[in-house]
Amino acid sequence: MWRRRLLAWEEETVAECAALLSDFVLQDTVLDRWRWALDPINGYSVKGTYQYFTSSDSLVERGTSHMVWLKHVPLKVSVFVWRLLRNRLPAKDNLVRRRVLQQENNGCVGGCRTLETSVHLILRCDIFGGLWHLIYKWIGISFISPDLVTNHLHHFGNLAGLPRYTHIYLQVI
């Protein structure tokens, strides 16, 4: 069977995956099982998923309030995250929409010549969003940042593979 050679970025990805799995140990005495986060006791069901999607008016509200309003986090930080999740921060795109700024003044304050949105500033900007890569390096993990702030909050706050007691620390970060 013919196979093509891997591209350079594919080889790097394979090497990164191998490094991540190098200290992973399977144990015969420990039972592996999937855990459905919405219903960890009964597991996945179509009915439970349907109830999840139809039970609340706001997708942002679902599953984020326990991660936003933490007692270990100063109130002003929780309010900031709450406003960020609802796109209520005074980023330039919001200021243009509210007619506080002119359309031509909507470039990122970091100088990256991109439309300044809350998501761009927090996750994508080379200057400010790059802070996350330093945090990942500091913690010692490989992590690909999602495109949405809510997904980032869920993924980063509940990193799989790390002990459950560390999740509160990650949620605080």
Residue 59 above 60 pLDDT?
A: no
Q: What is residue 150's DSSP assignment?
A: H
Q: Tens digit of pLDDT for each residue in 122-143? A: 888 888 888 888 888 888 777 7
- In sign, the C-alpha dihedral spanning 16, 28, 168, 46 is positive
pTM of the model: 0.56
Q: Tens digit of pLDDT for each residue in 69-128? A: 777 788 898 888 888 888 888 999 988 888 888 888 888 888 888 898 998 888 888 888
Q: What is the rounded distance in angstroms from the CA atom of residue 43 to the CA atom of residue 10?
A: 34
**Least confident window among 6-10, 83-87, 137-141, 162-166:** 162-166
Per-residue confidence band for 159, with pLDDT thresholds at 50, 70 and 90:
low
Residue 56 above 60 pLDDT?
A: no
Q: What is the mean pLDDT of residues 145-163?
A: 73
Q: What is the rounded distance in angstroms from the CA atom of residue 62 to the CA atom of residue 147?
A: 18
Residue 65 above 60 pLDDT?
A: yes
**Least confident window among 5-9, 44-48, 157-161:** 157-161
Q: DSSP for 5-70, please give it.
A: PPPHHHHHHHHHHHHHHTT----TTS------TT-TTT---HHHHHHHHHS-S-TTTTTTHHHHS-
Mean pLDDT rounded to a whole number for the chain: 78
